[in-house]
A and B are shown apart, each in its own frame.
Chain A
Amino acid sequence: MRVVLALVGLALLGYGAVLAWEFAASRTVNAVEGAAWFVGGPLVHDGLVAPAVGLAGLALTRLVPGPWRTPVAVGAVLTAVLTLLAIPLLWHPFLVVTNPGLHDRDYGAGLAVALGVVWLAVAVAGVIRFQKAHR
């Protein structure tokens, strides 16, 4: 089972490597920018995102009182994920083509409303937990 999985995996990797090589060899921009995007993910994540998550988690356990900790942690995670999804819609350093009906909503307001709902739920859950703990 494991050997079969590993061999199929290696075969797919090999096919992907051939396709990636053809892609990279056809134009300089493909090779340079393709490699940057490929290496960029792990570098940015392991070097910046994950340490920031760790420090935020550490701060949360030190600063936020017990009953509030879980709701605030959940709220922080949802805030991070929703903000991440909004980035491509809110931040476009290069010209984005105008297509009526596509990426033309007010995403700043949409994100604000979504985060408002999240933190309202955090507040409600926090108050309930706090009262339970002090009864």
Chain B
Amino acid sequence: MNARLARLIDKVQPREEDFRAPAHDEKVTARLGLWLGIAFLLCFLTGLLSHAVQKPPAWFVWPASPVNLYRITQGVHVLSGIAAIPLLLAKLWSVYPKLFARPLIRSLPHALERLSILVLSGAAFFELATGLFNVAQNYLWGFYFPSAHYAVAWLAAGAVLLHVAVKLPVIRRGLTRLDTPEPPGHGLSRRGFLRTTYLAAGAAVVATAGATVPLLRDVSPLSWRSRGPQGLPVNRTAGAARVTDAALDPSWRLEIGATRLSLAELEALPQHTADLPIACVEGWSQTATWTGVPIADLLRLAGAGTDRPVRVTSLERRGAYRTSILPATHTHGTLLALRLNGERLTLDHGFPCRVIAPSRPGVLQTKWVHRLEVL
């Protein structure tokens, strides 16, 4: 029975030489690999940056200007990941015949190489699939996404480098001129397959980039954001954060050391207005006009220095983003905002007041602020 099954499988499965389309030419593979490598490199570096901004090591300094810096790096992170989806699928289609190369394993190095390809493919799909579902806030998993996405990123980066090292002679050969004669085929030519892939990558970016690129806001049909209340999307509502009662309580006071300020007292202080973006780790971003009291003014009012990091605590009782630490580099450019686009903040946008700092991930722009502590 087993022998018969084995014969049947052997009969129906394709062989490497059955794939004769120009898409499987190594010149095509090398070019797709190059572009996929560039997309992965951009994605990896911007991902590391975002990780460092959120969990800064002692040596890491993130500048407060330009104010759009994080918005751009995180936009590049998400869009290079989007572009990598068609590139990865095309690259894998280009090398798919190799899956059927026989013998399955020729030697120990060959076995290790095939294993490294499995790690590469697994890690690449893991990053792109979890990233794509995560930006849609569609959590098909029970694990904590940032830790998983971060760990597997290192696996992907290592596997890519190892793969490039192994394939370097083939890559060099493959990147030579494309216009050598190719056998007449029935479908797409080498160049046709490459152009189709690039077109698909471009279409994927345009279809989603409206989440962060203002010009494409009303063009991208698959952008994961719309306009939102007061012209700005909300990533966590007051209801979800369970702060509604505490935020509306008239006895709310902002605590800075021993100083207590009511909302009316905050509104009576000199107000500043600034155009600053909210830039979410999930890739969407939006500039808005904020009015409020500079954090530095509040620290001075409370008799504290302005050259130390500040811990900001929300009214939220629990949650990973209940507190944030504003680095000393940012205390001068940051507002404790009371108004958004000319109106008082709504509850979902952080009423009575929220932090809005230049060039910081949205999750660190703490809403429903309750306390500032100089560290």
What residues of chain A have their CB less than 8 Å away from a CB belonging to chain B?
A: 1-3, 5-6, 8-17, 19-20, 22-23, 27, 29-30, 33-34, 37-42, 45-46, 49-50, 53-54, 57, 60-61, 69-70, 73-74, 77-78, 81-82, 84-86, 88-89, 91-94, 96-105, 107, 110-111, 113-114, 118
Contacts and interface: CB of A to CB of B under 8 A. Distances in A.
A78 B63 CA distance: 40
A19 B154 contact: yes
Interface string B201-239: 001100110000000000001111111110011111100
Interface in B143-174: 143-144, 147-148, 150-166, 168
A88 B136 contact: yes
B162 A100 contact: no
B129 interface: yes
Contacts of B121: 41-42, 45
B205 to A, nearest CB: 10
A50 B89 CA distance: 9
28 contacts: A2-B168, A5-B162, A9-B159, A9-B164, A13-B162, A16-B153, A41-B124, A42-B125, A45-B121, A54-B96, A57-B187, A70-B188, A70-B192, A78-B200, A81-B89, A81-B204, A82-B204, A85-B82, A85-B207, A85-B208, A88-B132, A92-B138, A97-B137, A100-B233, A100-B237, A101-B232, A113-B221, A114-B222
A contact face: mostly helix, strand, loop, or mixed = helix
Q: Which of A9, A10, A104 has the most CB of B within 10 A?
A: A9
B99 interface: yes
B199 A74 contact: yes
B284 interface: yes
Interface of B: 14, 19, 21, 82, 85-86, 89, 92-93, 96, 99, 118-119, 121-126, 129-130, 132-133, 135-144, 147-148, 150-166, 168, 186-188, 192, 196-197, 199-200, 203-204, 207-208, 221-229, 232-237, 240, 284, 348
Contacts of A61: 186-187
A101 B207 CA distance: 17
Contacts of B96: 46, 50, 54
B136 A89 contact: yes
Given A27-B143, A30-B148, A99 B204 contact: no
Given A102-B228, A107-B221, A34 B233 contact: no
Given A13-B155, A110-B221, A81 B141 contact: no
A118 B147 CA distance: 38
A82 B203 CA distance: 8
A100 B229 contact: yes
B140 A94 contact: yes
B223 A41 contact: no
A77 to B, nearest CB: 5
A43 B168 CA distance: 27
For the complex of A and B, 3 pairs with smallest distance between CB atoms: A101-B228, A41-B125, A101-B233
Given A16-B152, A99-B235, A34 B222 contact: no
A6 B86 CA distance: 27
B161 A73 contact: no
Given A37-B148, A78-B203, A111-B221, 20 more contacts: A2-B165, A9-B157, A13-B154, A16-B152, A16-B155, A23-B143, A23-B147, A30-B147, A33-B143, A37-B129, A42-B121, A45-B89, A70-B188, A77-B197, A77-B200, A81-B86, A88-B138, A96-B136, A101-B232, A102-B225
Given A100-B234, A101-B233, A73 B187 contact: yes
B224 A17 contact: no
Contact of A19 (B86, B92, B143, B151): B151
Contacts of B140: 93-94
